[in-house]
Structure 1
Amino acid sequence: YKQINTQHIQGFFEDNLFCECQYKEDEKLSILSWYGYIAENIIIDAYINMGIFAKQNNWHVIKTLTNISKIEGSFHKINEWLVKNYLPKMVERGFKYSAIVNSKDFFSILATEDQADLIDGLYVNEIFDNYEEAYQWIITQPI
């Protein structure tokens, strides 16, 4: 992982950028972007490392914008891990709103729908087809 600054981290696998996360303090917003096909164990490792980075840099994330428009493949097993292990801890720390920019990949779309079903009331989750709509929605959510 490469720390750009205290509000930006990038993840690389075999020298290829596969994810990055940026934090906007004024909005309490984390923007997470994923790229390409990524093995499930790499995704879990990325979430763990980004969580550690966020905690070390005192991020107070209330909102997330997750851009998976450039991801390929399914991530069903990741959904179960997120809902069981990761997201409840975020909610305990004040996380309330999520905007997801969906992929055009069929299997990714199915996994996003599965994730929405698993979340079911844990926090407010909206799915969008383009980044600008997702961004406009997430920044209007209260802090």
Structure 2
Amino acid sequence: MDALDLKPLGTLPDANGAVLVELLHNPACKLLYVRWFGNLTGREVVYVARESLKLQENMHFALLLNDKTNATGDWSETLEWLEYEWLPQIMAGGLRAIAYVFSPDMHNQLASLEFFERVRQYLPIQLFHDTPSAWQWIRRQPPPLRATVSEEPAL
């Protein structure tokens, strides 16, 4: 993953204080990389999704690499919220493609497959079993649009 040239943005904890996600980004590619950990619940997925909306307001990332390699759990109760609340907002902020790395956990995979089916009607999304393949695909997406003056972060 060194080829991604990722810069850390921080982590978000779960209810017990353990790392739930690690957030990294590549400003040149306008990529947000979200690496998940632990047994996920719907509440935790919504929490991270809301935090990603806050990041999107300032960063306007175009590409999302969502890596659930180290996660388990069934979060399917959040699928409608993700499709009808989160997705329109994140797309309005500039998201235009998602590379999605499967968890090895079957319950998580079932929720991920349903998420994939819901999202693919709105924007390009691809499922992967490993992060290098996901990176290869996401970097072939069209280059991000140049930021306008209003989109550039204030110093």
**1:7 Cα deviation (Å)?**
5.7
TM-score by length of 2: 0.81
Q: Which residue in 2 is equivalent to 1:87? A: 87
Q: Which residue in 1 is equivalent to 2:74? A: 74
Deviations 1:68-95 (A, max 9, x none): 1111111112222111101111212221
Q: Which residue in 1 is equivalent to 2:121? A: 121
Q: How many residues align?
A: 136
**1:32 Cα deviation (Å)?**
0.6
Q: Answer with 91-100 or 45-54: which moved more.
A: 45-54
C-alpha separation in 2, matches of 1:7 and 1:133: 21
CA RMSD of aligned residues (A): 1.6
Structure 1: 5+ residue stretches without partners: 1-5
C-alpha separation in 2, matches of 1:89 and 1:66: 17
Structure having the higher strand fraction is 1
Q: Which residue in 1 is equivalent to 2:12? A: 11
Deviations 1:10-44 (A, max 9, x none): 11122210112222110011101111102221221
C-alpha separation in 2, matches of 1:7 and 1:79: 28
Q: Which residue in 2 is equivalent to 1:32? A: 34
Q: Which 4+ stretches in 1 moved above 6 angstroms?
A: none
Query: Quick check: 2:76–2:111 contact (8 Å CA) kept in 1?
Result: yes
Q: Percent identity?
A: 21
Residue 48 of structure 1 aligns to a residue in which SS? helix
TM-score by length of 1: 0.87
Q: Answer with 68-77 or 121-130: which moved more.
A: 68-77
Bigger radius of gyration among the two: 2
Q: Answer with 69-78 or 126-135: which moved more.
A: 69-78
Q: Answer with 77-86 or 61-70: which moved more.
A: 77-86
**1:120 Cα deviation (Å)?**
3.2
Residues 52, 93 of structure 1: alpha-carbon distance in 2 compared, 3 angstrom cutoff? closer
Residue 59 of structure 2 aligns to a residue in which SS? coil
